[in-house]
Amino acid sequence: MKPGADVLIIGAGIVGVACALECARVGLSTLVVESHMVGGGATGAGMGHLVVMDDSPAQIALTQLSCALWKELQPDLPGSVEYDACGTMWVAADHEEMAEVERKSHIYSNAGIVSEVVTGRKLYEYEPNLRPGLSGGLRVKGDAVIYPPTAAAWLLDQAIHKGSKFQKGQAVREVHEGGIVVFENGDRLCARTVVVATGANATKLVPGIALKPRKGHLIITDRYPGHIRHQLIELGYLKNAHQLTQDTVAFNVQPRRTGQLLIGSSRQYGALDSRIEKSITAKMLERAFWYLPHLKDLLCLRVWTGFRAATPDKVPLIGPAPNPVTGRPMEGVWLATGHEGLGITTSLGTARILADRLVGNTPSIPWEPYEPLRFSLQKGPIP
Amino acid sequence: MSDPQRVNIELNGRPVSVPVGHTLLSAVFNAGFGTTRTSVTGQPRGPLCGMGFCHECTVTIDGLFHQRSCMITVRQGMVVETVPLP
């Protein structure tokens, strides 16, 4: 079969469309295929927090690069993307967490990220509705918030403007070595490189990759402008997010441009259906009410769920896919998935690395930590 | 002497006397305010169902946004604002 495009991207979530834009920008002929709607999966279900995270050097590098790329785009973003440079406040409940604030501030400072250690009264000047008696926090002014589905739609428009093609309505059934894609209706397409960017569903097309769905719930309120000013996250967040086996909740509340509050967060493994679980939302709200007591008086409009694509080391899969049988790189099949809860932020960095690698440029940050083969080339079963 | 059959509330900065037992919505209407809130896109909105379902008659009471005025009986000293949101 003759390649119909240089790059065929499966999935018009924010990662897929960001990849399309970068590929088109470096001059590759690009086609995006999407079965349902743009940004209709994890993209539309997530919070849209643009945040630098310090879980590992690879995570800092990718989130930092990505936040810088978002800042570059910001002047061009339409109002519908609701870009809001509200910053993040990592909230320290007690002295132990205050020590963590210092540690985190040090890591950020080493990476060149500006943060402000906030103690006592200053915390309440920034966030008067937090419960009394908290120790302080770390304010990261450069973080921001966007509305992910409109951001995805805009990125796709930009890609199309740069010559990318877009095909909607047919789901992909199979992907084969040699860059071959088979659709549900039997149609086939071939590209020099197929990029699987279907989030947690990527295992359906490339079995055996180190990827698991991780369910999350979110709650949104009516409009209460000014109730909070930063995205507020408890410092115990990473501690909770790191639990690989049990259901966890963490305090993570976001102010939207509309004045609405988006209340998170939950993480579940092994929960495969999308129904709303009251036991989980009750725990989320209990935690949110503890930090923000007046939330109790506000009106909730909607609750929903989504699935993050989680890898064992919390770092995405960007590069050649491993063959399910041999574990060797598949010819003409790449992955761009595994972004877990950071895909909105890291979509742009992912796309930059992927496009650089495809045309043989050296990416501006080391790409090896994101290499999908890092799991399949290890001995033993995938964790 | 205050009339035991009436309560005094503050509505959009004005003192208003309302018969005991009236809904806040009737007080708002009788004071001449037809618009209770604005939509996300800034359109003026007024009450539709009058029975707590449509959320179009929401007002700010004592600083708390989005209170359904049709479901709330007037209380002495309430501070009420219509159309508080940008």
Question: Are residues A336 and A16 in contact, defined by beta-carbon separation less than 8 angstroms?
Answer: yes
d(CA A52, CA A77): 20
Q: Residue A50's CB: how many other CB atoms inside 10 A? A: 28
Interface test with B, best of A299, A300, A302 (most B CBs within 10 A): A299
CATH number, domain containing residue B27: 3.10.20
Residue A78 lies in a domain: no
Q: With bands split at pLDDT 50, 70 and 90, how would you rate the model's confidence at B85?
A: low
Residue B34 lies in a domain: yes
Residue B72 lies in a domain: yes
Give the chain B residue whose CA is nearest to the CA of A301.
B55
Residues A284 and A235 reside in one and the same domain: yes
Residues A253 and A200 reside in one and the same domain: no
Chain-chain contact of A225 with B86 (C-beta, under 8 angstroms): yes
For residue A265, cis peptide bond before it (omega within 30 degrees of 0) = yes
- The 10s digit of each residue's pLDDT in A350-363 is 999 999 999 999 99
Contacts of A299 in chain B (CB under 8 A): 66
- The 10s digit of each residue's pLDDT in A295-347 is 999 999 999 999 999 999 999 999 999 998 888 999 999 999 999 999 999 99
Residue among A53, A37, A56 at smallest CA distance from A45? A37
Interface test with B, best of A227, A297, A300 (most B CBs within 10 A): A297
What's the domain range around B77?
Answer: 20-81
Residues A156 and A278 reside in one and the same domain: no
Question: Are residues B48 and B54 in contact, defined by beta-carbon separation less than 8 angstroms?
Answer: yes
Q: Total domain count for chain A?
A: 2
Stretches in chain A below the pLDDT threshold 50: 379-383
Averaged confidence pLDDT in chain A:
94
Chain-chain contact of B65 with A222 (C-beta, under 8 angstroms): yes
And the tokens for A215? 């369910």
Whether residue B79 lies within 8 A of chain A, CB to CB, comes out as no
pLDDT at A294: 95
Residue B44 lies in a domain: yes
Out of A224, A258, A299, closest to residue B40 by CB: A258
And the tokens for B55? 């959320």
Residue A327 lies in a domain: yes
And the tokens for B11? 């509505």
Interface of A with B (CB under 8 A): 222-225, 258-259, 297-299
pTM: 0.91
pLDDT at A382: 46
Question: Are residues A164 and A20 in contact, defined by beta-carbon separation less than 8 angstroms?
Answer: yes
Contacts of A297 in chain B (CB under 8 A): 64
Whether residue B65 lies within 8 A of chain A, CB to CB, comes out as yes
What's the domain range around A224?
Answer: 84-142+213-307
Q: Roughly how many angstroms between the first and final C-alpha of chain A, as a whole number?
A: 36
pLDDT at A120: 85
CATH number, domain containing residue A29: 3.50.50.60
Q: Total domain count for chain B?
A: 1
Residues A122 and A105 reside in one and the same domain: yes
pLDDT at A284: 96
